[in-house]
Structures are given as structure tokens and as C-alpha cells.
Amino acid sequence: MQTNTTFSIIFFTRKSSARIDKLSIYTRITVNGKRSEISLKRSVLVNDWDNNKGRCRGNTTKIRFLNAYLDEVYNQLLDCHKQLFEEGKMVSANAIKRRYLGEDDNHKTLKELITYHNTNMISVLKFGTMKNYYTTEKYLHKFLSEILKVDDIYLKQLNYRFICDFEQYLRKYKNTKKELSLTNNGVMKHLERFKKMINLAFRLEWIPKNPFMQFQLKFNKFDRQYLSERELELIENTHYNNERLERVKDCFVFSCYTGLSYIDVKGLTSNQIVRGIDGNHWIFTKREKTNAMVKIPILPKALEIIYKYNTACEKIKNKILLPLYSNQKVNLYLKEIAKDCSIKKNISFHVARHTFATTVMLSNGVPIETVSKLLGHTKLTTTQIYARVVETKISEDVQNLLIRFERKAQKRMEIVEG
């Protein structure tokens, strides 16, 4: 606790550079002999200022308003001193000045928080994740200007209503074609990113309480889209003379048999193909998204595709293995391929990863713990999302259970009869 400090506030004037008959009014804060001054952006006629009282002399309406303003400034500065003292912070003339002008941590704004977060996270988060944060920032800026009619807002002004109003703004936001831009889950993702920024502000002690404390994010659950065994075979057996479609089809099938995401397939090199403990080819790589190490045995159909594009891949160090276009183009071409194969599903490259987990692995009896390792998931609960949708595997397991029950019943009958 700080004690034995001297503290004073006085008002004084300086000659105005604009007019010789006017004086500019200042306040001086002094703590332990150290001074800090603030221009009050007010002026008074030379004859209307009383140096001894530090106030204006006279009884006109203008003089009364000016003296009332000086009294208000005085009280606010006293309050700033009290706040710093109660918070256990260093009480200095500069600290009181910053608190009064809203330049200390207690007066951080939303835009300052966003800038701080994005500047510090750019070296931590992936480029794709940062792009999403920039989009959330864009919506927050639009909300401030279009709905609240302000350029910025202090963090201490954020409350539960601000979050609810922002949610409604996102739900009603329309693009240039006057169409709703965001689904429920899209809205929730923006709020989730905003919540992470607010959590950072709370940890930095920029806000006294977290406005998200009572707010619950509500995502709609969807089963992950994946290809059935028949649909996968249809794509495998479709061949194109068109090079771009053949390339995309092969890379997609490769992902169906390895579980690698688009970015991991795109960056796959010959150095990451190694001989495993069983003497077979394996992929040793790190997931771009989580930086988790994954070791994947290469199934024959995936190996065929590697050799199709790399006849001597083991002899060329660090060679990119598979030719991939941009993610946007790949997804566009996949829709063309799905149409050719009469597959009525909205296919993107990420569907291949879901197909690997469900159709190739779980449906064929591979334990979920093994699938989780192959996918590079850090939590088993993430992999369990795929396990919920494999109805054919459930049916097969129940049929096997019934067969076992029947065999046990036959054995009991044989024992009784014998």
C-alpha cells in the first residue's frame, strides 16, 4: 500500500497564441513533487481569471459554466487518484493523467484489443485461421459503424447486450446480392473468435468482468459427409483424358486412403515416404493444422497413385509428390467429377478425410483408437464424431453378436442332449 504521498491539483493559465486578450486554461497534477500537465482546451479573457483562486471571476452564465467544468475536472482527477490507489497501482502524476485521458489499460478500446490480438497471434496461428479472424474483425467494424454509429468502443462498455446485438447483426447480414450470408454455425464461429479475443482482454486485466460469462454458443450438429464404398469405387473407376480432372480425382482418392487433408497432401514430399518397421511404405508427416505427428501405412491404392506421378520418387529428395491445384479449384472440379459419377452429394476435398475415417477404416473394423492416431487427432472425442455415422458397421456388429448368441445356444443344447 502506498503511503506518505503528496498530491495536488491546480488550474493555471498561459497566454493564448491566437489572441493576446485571452488565456488558455491548464491543470497541473503534482504527486511527490513530480508534475504532469493537461490542456483543458478552454480559454478565458485575461481580466476574467483569478490566479489566487484558480477559477474564473464574475457571475455571467458563461463564467458559471466554465467554473462548473473546472470543478468537474477536479473531481474526476480526484477519482482517478482514488481508483489507482484502490487498485494497488503506482500513483504518479503521469498515471493519473493517463487514466483521466483514457490512455491507460482501464480505457482500452475494442479496436485496440483486436489489433493487439491479431498482431500477437499472427506468429502463433496458421494463415487460414488468421484469415478467419480478419473476417470477424471486418464484421465487428461494420457493426460498430452501421448499428452503434461509433468508430470504436471502450472494452469496459462491452456487456451481454452488445454480444446479443452483434449476434443478431450477423444473422441478418446480407451480401451484395441481398442474400443472408451466414448460417447458424457461421455466426457461432465468428462469436467464438470474438469470445477468444475477450478472454484475452480479461486475462490481461483490460476488463473487470467477462461479458461472455452468461452467453452460450449453440452450434447445430451435422453428420459428416462421406462417400460410401460404392461411391468411392465409382470415382476410382472413372478415368479422364482431361489432365486437370484426372489429377484432382487421383489426389482425392489418395486422400481417401490416407486421411490426409488438402494442405497436407499438397505439401507431401518424397522425404516423408519411408520404410516402416514392417518393411512397407509409410508416410511420416506433421499435420499442418495441429502440428501433430502422424504415421500412416500407405495402402496399395494410395501407393499406386504415388507411383503414377513419381516413377522414381525415392531417388529425388524433397520432391513434391502429387500435383494439386488451389483448394478452390479442386473443390470446383470435384463437383464436376461427382456429377459425372451420378453422386448426389456436396463433395469437397475434405470429404476424402471423412471417407477414410468411416468407409475405409471404421467400417472395416479398425479400432477407433487407431483411426484417431492415423487422423492425427489430439482428442478421441473428435474421432468419435465419425464413429456415430457408421450405421453399416453397427448393423454388421449386431449381426455378429446374434451369430455368437446362436452358437452359444447350440452349445448349451448339445451339452443338455449329450
C-alpha cell at 320: 513434391
How far apart are the C-alpha atoms of 59 and 130, rounded to whole Å?
Answer: 60
pLDDT, block means (10 residues), the chain with 418 residues: 74 86 93 92 92 93 94 94 83 88 78 94 87 96 95 91 97 91 95 97 90 93 84 95 94 96 92 89 88 90 91 60 91 95 93 92 88 88 72 72 87 78
- Tell me, what's the pLDDT at 130? 93
pLDDT at 354: 92
- Model pLDDT, residue 410: 87
Q: Are strands 34-45 and 22-31 parallel, antiparallel or unpaired?
A: antiparallel
Report the alpha-carbon distance of residue 318 to residue 170 in Å, rounded. Answer: 45
* Residues facing 282 on adjacent strands: 274, 297
pTM exceeds cut of 0.85: no
Domain coordinates of the chain in residue numbers? 7-106, 108-203, 229-386, 388-418
> Could you write out the three-class secondary structure of the chain?
CCCCCCEEEEEEEEECCCCCCEEEEEEEEEECCEEEEEEEEEEEEHHHEECCCCEECCCCHHHHHHHHHHHHHHHHHHHHHHHHHHCCCCCCHHHHHHHHHCCCHHHCEHHHHHHHHHHHHCCCCCHHHHHHHHHHHHHHHHHHHHCCCCCCCEHHHCCHHHHHHHHHHHHHCECCCCCECCCHHHHHHHHHHHHHHHHHHHHCCCCCCCCCCCCCCCCCCCCCCCCCHHHHHHHHCCCCCCHHHHHHHHHHHHHHCCCCCHHHHHCCEHHHEEECCCCCEEEEEECCCCCCEEEEECCHHHHHHHHHHCCCHHHCCCCECCCCCCHHHHHHHHHHHHHHCCCCCCCCCHHHHHHHHHHHHHHHCCCHHHHHHHHCCCCHHHHHHHHCCCHHHHHHHHHHHHHHHHHHHHHHHHHHHC
Fold of the 229-386 domain: hpI Integrase; Chain A (1.10.443)
The per-residue pLDDT for 312 is 47
